Amino acid sequence: MSPQVTGTPVNQATPGPELPGLFARYRNSVEEALTRSVPESNGDDLFFPLRYHLGWVDQYGAPAESSMTQGKALRPTLCLFACEALAADTARALPAAAALELIHNFSLIHDDIQDQDVERRHQPTLWRLWGLPRALVAGNGLQSVGDLAILNVAGGEVPPERALRVSQILTESYIEMIQGQCLDLDFESRTEIVAGEYLQMIAYKTGALIRSGVEIGVLLATDDPVAFNAFSRFGSSIGRAFQIRDDFLGIWGDQATTGKPAGNDIRRRKKTFPVVFALENAGGNSREELLRIYGQEELTDPDVDNVLTILEMVGAQKQSHSITETSAQEALAALDPIALPAWAKYEAESLVDFLAHREF
């Protein structure tokens, strides 16, 4: 049974925004680029679990309902958007878009192993189906398939120097991602974490790959360093807005839209932003109570409710909203100096609005 959620969802009266048009605009292209990048499977090889994880086949190899199993493809969408906004073309960025999605998915396969998560996007996780060694190896395989995809960006509009630079940015960003994962692991065993450290951790863990996707889109469109820096800041701010909203939904989200039970991150004793904020700001007794509950192996429903009460008391929900809103505004402000076509300005606004207010 999932716990009663006692906090008041701020957006309860107004349902969150729909998936903005930008995702639909690139969905087919991203899908095709991914299809071109991941080899066919003979049903019994490395590529089979990859195709399963990507939502293309079910665990028995039958074609799957893709809409049910796939993610939003945020990173490739951002990459293609930056490229099209600046160069009125997306074709040259498709291999990079595929690479970004593949590398994001590689990190999910390994995350599921680390967190021992049994389900992802309403399906059993790879390690759950095929055991740890195979899932570990499949994750590595997906990363390598992504690495290979991005090298294919060379040719046509993209000179080899530029392709090398793009590969370098991608690789540097997932070293940052991994550094973020290390910090996140450190946080698991620490209780003195302040919000600033947490924001730095997510800037690495989530932000780096989102930012590099945007940067790569720019690099494939133009040499202009002003555009690069503006979009880079756009990407960083979007990453922060996205993650803090994710943290919000992990506690106060609706199971029907998120696919995860309410209070899920608390039950799993995750130290996401609201909890870190409470650890920093709760008074003596509340802080002790929070530490006591998070010190347990298993949390009961009343434990989860108690944590929710403490979060409510310290204003963790409001603070999460505030950071998301600020980051969303910073994202749009970063693009201000750049002359963009009207459609791109509109789409950037819709996207940022969605990321900051989404319910899924």
CB of 107 to a second copy, least distance (A): 8
Return the residue of 19, 129, 137, 199 that touches a second copy, per CB under 8 A.
137
- Asked whether position 134 contacts a second copy by CB under 8 A, the answer is yes
Cα diameter, the chain: 64
For 158, the 3-state DSSP assignment is strand
Query: What pairs with residue 323 in β-bridges?
Result: none
CB of 235 to a second copy, least distance (A): 19
With CB under 8 A as the rule, give the number of residues binding a second copy.
Answer: 37
- What distance in Å separates the CA atoms of residue 91 and residue 33, rounded to the nearest whole number? 10
Q: What is the DSSP letter of 152?
A: T
Residues 140-159 that bind a second copy (CB under 8 A): 140-141, 143-145, 147-148, 151, 154, 159
* Pairing of β 119-120 and β 123-124: antiparallel
Say if CB 37 and CB 95 are below 8 A apart. Answer: yes
**Residue 48, C-beta contacts closer than 8 angstroms, at least 6 positions apart:** 41, 42, 57, 61
User: Scanning the structure block, which residue is given the tokens 């992802």?
Assistant: 120
- Asked whether position 350 contacts a second copy by CB under 8 A, the answer is no
- What distance in Å separates the CA atoms of residue 32 and residue 83, rounded to the nearest whole number? 17
Q: Which span sits near a second copy by CB under 8 A: 21-29, 38-46, 256-264, 305-313? A: 38-46
CB of 120 to a second copy, least distance (A): 17
Return the residue of 28, 60, 133, 297 that touches a second copy, per CB under 8 A.
133
CB of 272 to a second copy, least distance (A): 17
User: What character string, x for contact with a second copy (CB under 8 A) and - otherwise, covers 156-195?
Assistant: ---xxx-xx--xx--xx-xx--xx-xx--xx---------
- Asked whether position 232 contacts a second copy by CB under 8 A, the answer is no
Question: Residue 265: how many CA atoms within 13 Å on its side-chain side?
Answer: 22
Residues 89-128 that bind a second copy (CB under 8 A): 110, 113-114
192 CB neighbour count, 10 Å cutoff? 8
What does the binding site for a second copy look like in residue numbers (CB under 8 A)?
44-46, 110, 113-114, 132-134, 136-137, 140-141, 143-145, 147-148, 151, 154, 159-161, 163-164, 167-168, 171-172, 174-175, 178-179, 181-182, 185-186
